Structure 1
Amino acid sequence: MNKISLYFENGLFLEAKSFGAEGTAVGEIVFNTSLTGYQEIVTDPSYAGQFVTFTMPEIGNVGCNAQDMESKGAHCKGIIVRTYQSRPSNFRSEESLDVLLKRENVLGITEIDTRFLTKMLRDEGAMMMVASTEIHDATELKKILESSPRIEEVNYIEQVSTKESYVHNEARYDARTFEYAKPETTKKIIALDFGIKRNILNELTHAGMEVTVVPNSMSAEEIIAKVDSKEIDGVFLSNGPGDPLILKEEQEKIKKLIAHKVPLFGICLGHQLLSISHGYDTYKLKFGHHGGNHPVKNEMTGTVEITAQNHNYNVPDNITEVATVTHVNLFDNTIEGLKYNDSPTMSVQHHPEASPGPHESAYIFSEFRKML
C-alpha cells in the first residue's frame, strides 16, 4: 500500500494508506452506516461525486462478484475504511474489492480513524475533500480543492444515465438458488434513468411491470405520446446523484408529465424532483441519511419499517399543501414518502429495494402497480 494524503474543507490534513486506484480526486465526503453491502454501495450511481466513509470497520472480506453490481461500474470518487481485507473469503467472491476499484478508477483509503471522521461529519456536516497518492503537500491540496467545482455545481446524471434505451427483464435474484424469479408482468412502464440501481429495476419487474429504461434526455412529449397511445401505463423517476435544484431540464419535463396526469412514481432523486416540480424546493441535510438501519413510520398503517437510505437532500414540510405524507423518518421526523392530492403520483425518499439493507419496504413497488 502506498501513502495517500487527504485535505478537507475545514482545513484538516491527514495521511493514510491507499488501495484501489491511484491519482488525485475531489469530492464530497459522507458516511454510511450499513453493516453489509459495500459492493452495492460502491456501484450505486447515487454516490457519484462523493467519498464514502464506512462505519463498518472491516471492508473487503467477502470480495466482489458480477451479480452484486448495482450498475455497470463504480461511480463514487473513493471509499474510506478502517481496515481493508485484501484476501476475501466467500463462495460467491470472483475478485477482490481492490481489483474492482482499480478497474473503475476509484480511490481506496485505509488505516485511518473512520470513527473520528464520522464524528466530524456528524458535528460539522458533509464537506468537500481532496485525496491524492501523488501530492502530499497540504498547501497544494488546498489549492486543488478550492479551485474544483462543488458537488452541487455538477450535473452528475449526465454522466451516469444510460445513453441508449433498453428493456430490463430480470426480477429478484435468489443467491441460494442462483436463479431469478419469473413473475408475470401486467403493466408497462418507462424508467427515466437519473442513475438507476439494478435492484430497483428487479423489484419493479418482480411487482409485475415490464420496464423500459430510457435516457434522462428523453423528452416529455415522447413520453406523453407513449402514454396516450397506451404503449406504457406510467413512468418511474429513478434515484440519482447530486443536487436536484440544478436539474432544470428534468424539472420542466416532470412538470409537463404532472400536467398531463401521467402516473408517476419517484424514489430518492425522483422523489425530490417531484417536490420541486410541484413548486416546493428541496433543502440540504446537515450530513444526509446514508445507511441500512433507518426507522421509517408508515403513516397509513402505523407500521415502523427499517429502511435503506442514501440522500443528502430533503423535501420541505410545507409540501403538505399539495400532498399527503405517507412515511416519516423517526430519526429526525423528515418526510420520507408522499402521495400527491390532485394527480396519480407517489414517491418515497428511502430505498425500498434495499440493496443493501432490509426488505420491509418492498411492498411500495406493488403499491405503484396497483396505482397503475
Structure 2
Amino acid sequence: MTNRVVITGMGAVTPLGNTVDEFWNGLKEGKNGIGPITKFDATETGISVAGELKDFDPTNYMPRKIAKRMDDFSKYGVAAAVQAVEMSGIDTEKTDMDRFGVIVGSGIGGLNAMQEQIIKMHDKGPQRVAPLFVPMAIGNMVAGNISIAIGTKGINTSIVTACASGNNSIGEAYRNIKHGYSDVILAGGAEGTIDEIGISGFAALTALSTSTDPDRASIPFDKERSGFVMGEGAGVVMLESLDHALERNAAIYGEIVGYGSTGDGYHMTAPTPDGSGAGKAMINAMQEAGITPETVGYVNAHGTGTPANDSAETMAIKYAFGEELAKNVAISSTKSMTGHLLGAAGAIEAIACIKALQEGFLPPTIGLEVQDEACELDYVPGVGRKTETKYALNNSLGFGGHNAVTCFKKWEGK
C-alpha cells in the first residue's frame, strides 16, 4: 500500500515578495521583480541586473543572534520553512517528530561566507577566519537549520543537483512519504548567490544576460534572449500523507502525484539538444501520476532565457507530449519575473504550480515579444490566463545534466 501525498503548507521568500501571497500576486499581475544590482558594485562584472530580495528581515523568523550564525541562503530557507509550518497549522506537540523530516537543498550553499572568509584569510591570515565559517558555508546547513528551528527528528537531508535541487528535494520527499517512511516533510530549496563571485562566475560562463534593461533581461523563449538573470530566495512546501493531514483536519492546497528524475549524460552545462533527457523525466512523472499528456493543462518551464536551454526544453516538451499535443499545452516561465533562483527555483515554481491549479490561473511569461522560431509553443506571453486545469508539471534542469519534474494535481477533496 502507498500513501497519497498532499501539500498542507507553503513558504516563499522571492524577488516578488517575502510571502507566498506576495509572490503569487506578483506572478498573476505579471510584475517584474528584477532590477539593478544593489548588493555590491557590479560595474566590472559586465552584469547590471538581478532578482534581489526586497526588505527581507530574518529576525521576523528567528532571533538576531541565530541569524548572525547563518549565511543568507540558510536564513531564506528557515524563513520559508517557518511560513510553511505556520500555514499548515500543525501542532508539533501533538506530532510524532521522529516521522517529521526536512529535505531542502541548495545548488551552491553559503557562497557569501565563502567569498568573505577567503578574502579575509588572504588579506589577514588564516587565524582570522571566522569560527563558524564551515557551518555557515556548507550547503546542507539550510536543512540542518530548518530542522533545528522546527524541532524535526525525522529524515534530515539536502540534495545538490544545481538548478534542479529544489525540485529534486520535493520529488524525493514525495517518494519518502508515499512509501511510508515519513508522515510529514518540509521540502524545497534556498539560494543566496548575488555577490561578486556568484555573478562573476556565471558571467565568465557567458550564462548571464548582459542587458541593462530589467524588462529585456530575463526573456525566456524570446529570440533576443541572451542568458539568465540571477535571483535569490527560497521556497519550501509542507508535504504530508493524506491520512495524516485528514486526521488533524488540515487545510489541503494541492496534491503531488508524480516525479521524474533523469540524467542527460551529455555535457557539463548544455542540455541534450533533442530534449530526450528532460523529456523522459516528464514522461516518468506523468506515468507515476497515472495520466496521459492530454490531461496536463500547464507546464511551468525551467525557461531560463539562455539560448540553449529554451530551445532544448521546447524539444523536451515535444518529446514528452508529441508534436501536436505540445502545441495545445500552456507553458510559462515565471523566471521572466523572478530571475533564476538556482537551487531554489524548482521550489518556488512548485508553489506557482500549486497556486495555478488552486486558483485556475496560469502565470505569464512576461517580456516575450519576439518569439524564437525554435520555441514555437504556447508560452502564455505577456499576460496571465484564467484556465481551470487539473494537472501541472514543474520542470527543473541543472548543470551536470540533472532533470527533475514534479507533477501536481488540483485538490478536489479526498
Scaled by the length of structure 2, the TM-score of the pair is 0.29
Higher relative contact order (CA 8 A, sep 6+): 2
Relative to total residues, which structure has the larger strand share, 1 or 2?
Answer: 1
Relative to total residues, which structure has the larger helix share, 1 or 2?
Answer: 2
